[in-house]
Amino acid sequence: MKHITINGDRLWQSLMTMAKIGATEKGGCCRLTLTDLDKEARDLFVQWCEEAGCTVTVDQVGNIFARRPGRHNDLPPIMTGSHLDTQPTGGKFDGVFGVLAGLEVLRTLQDHNVETKAPVEVSVWTNEEGSRFAPAMMGSGVVAGRFTLEEILAKTDIDGKLFGEELKRIGYAGELPARQRPIGAFFEAHIEQGPYLEAEKKTIGVVNKGQGQRWYDVTITGRESHAGTTPMPLRHDALAAAARLINQVERIANTNQPHACGTVGFLQVHPNSRNTIPGQVTMSVDLRHPDDTILSKMDRELKVFCEHLPAEVNVEVKLEPIWYYAPVIFSEQCINAVREGARTHGYSHMDIFAGAGHDACYIADFAPASMIFIPCENGISHNEIENAEAADIIAGCNVLLSAMLERANA
């Protein structure tokens, strides 16, 4: 079949229209999961999919599936998709590119009256970001069986709002059982969110692996007291202890190079008053590495440090592991379909591993999966200035179309 290509203007327009939902002053998007803005984005996606002739279903954890029938609808679908929720300082492309590239594939198949052998589906996965409700990748995690539906529905955000209540409130507590089902192949198109494709001047990242992650909640308890009358040796300063822990997280990452990452992104101080010694700090720790043995070593180094910290700073430290998944190896068959797609269109490409978590990492538990990366400007993401070139957006979507057609007609 002549290589059909997607309609780049239409895809770009859809991205810019979607970007208006939760648009921020600095040109990014703040569309936290299960908020009214998330609902608005979901409703728009569903409307677009129905206009493209798809039937749409929603599962018990709010994942959305838009289905385009093929010749043999008893075959497992060839699926693509990503997420519509963003970080608080999110951009226009993280997650959304993968969702709307999938929609563009559907629209292109319609335009050309292409009938695939297997059905094709585009999916939106709930709470990929894990910002408002931790951990991340909840929608795909429940379907994969990494989390139970009950534990996820019971999660609360910083204001004590329940995940399950918020899901109902926005009208996306669906009927479809949120559990594994046969998927012929899953492809997720995504911006790289790192600097390597741009540095190597490559258009397409053929993603062969997703690095592993470990997330922790830490509570450090000292004792509030007066900033002016409490001698230094008598203090129980929770924030001074947290500062040491933050330095240690950085040290653990820097001493496990290459590739190790260590981040403290969330921190709350109580009572947060300039002339009271902080009595309590709650904070997050995020450790990552593409090699599980090293990720375990980093975990041990963190635990040992937290065991010794109380003696040094006279506080209590509670380190609570809340999430872990090992590095994910993607499917050769899907990796080859992506590489073939890049070659067919003559796009420069290179193998790369995913530094961020993605829903494809959990779908890979039960279906052949891989990802397609495109560069983003200066590798910046989770930032309102996140940017991608239209030419790369089009290239990524053309490769997605080719890879899906290859699998859908295999």
CB of 361 to ligand HGY, least distance (A): 9
3-class SS string, 238-300: HHHHHHHHHHHHHHHHHCCCCCCEEECCCEEEECCCCCEECCEEEEEEEEEECCHHHHHHHHH
Per CB under 6 A, the segment of 53-61, 69-77, 124-132, 395-403 that binds ligand HGY is: 124-132
Q: Which is nearer to ligand HGY, 136 or 388 (CB)?
A: 136
Q: Could you say which of Mn ion, ligand HGY, none residue 95 binds, taking C-beta under 5 to 8 angstroms by partner kind?
A: Mn ion
Per CB under 5 A, the segment of 86-94, 167-175, 264-272, 323-331 that binds Mn ion is: 86-94
Q: Could you say which of ligand HGY, Mn ion, none residue 384 binds, taking C-beta under 5 to 8 angstroms by partner kind?
A: none
Q: Which of 22, 28, 81, 95 binds Mn ion (CB under 5 A)?
A: 95
Q: Which of 139, 357, 375, 396 binds ligand HGY (CB under 6 A)?
A: 357
Q: Is 130 left (phi over 0), alpha (psi -120 to 50) or beta?
A: left
**Which helix (H) or strand (E) covers residue 397, if one does?**
helix 390-408
136 binds ligand HGY (CB under 6 A): yes
Per CB under 6 A, the segment of 65-73, 125-133, 216-224, 401-409 that binds ligand HGY is: 125-133
CB of 83 to Mn ion, least distance (A): 6
128 binds ligand HGY (CB under 6 A): yes
What is the gyration radius of the CA atoms in the chain, in angstroms? 22
Contact 91, 39 (CB under 8 A): no
CA max distance for the chain? 81
CB of 9 to ligand HGY, least distance (A): 28
Q: Which of 94, 286, 299, 386 binds Mn ion (CB under 5 A)?
A: 94
> What span, in angstroms and rounded, lies between the C-alpha atoms of 325 and 180?
18
Q: Which of 70, 91, 98, 130 binds ligand HGY (CB under 6 A)?
A: 130
> What span, in angstroms and rounded, lies between the C-alpha atoms of 244 and 288?
20
SS3 state at 322: strand
| Residues with Cβ within 8 Å of residue 323, at least 6 apart in sequence | 130, 134, 135, 136, 213, 214, 215
* Sites of contact with Mn ion (CB under 5 A): 94-95
* Sites of contact with ligand HGY (CB under 6 A): 128-130, 136, 356-357
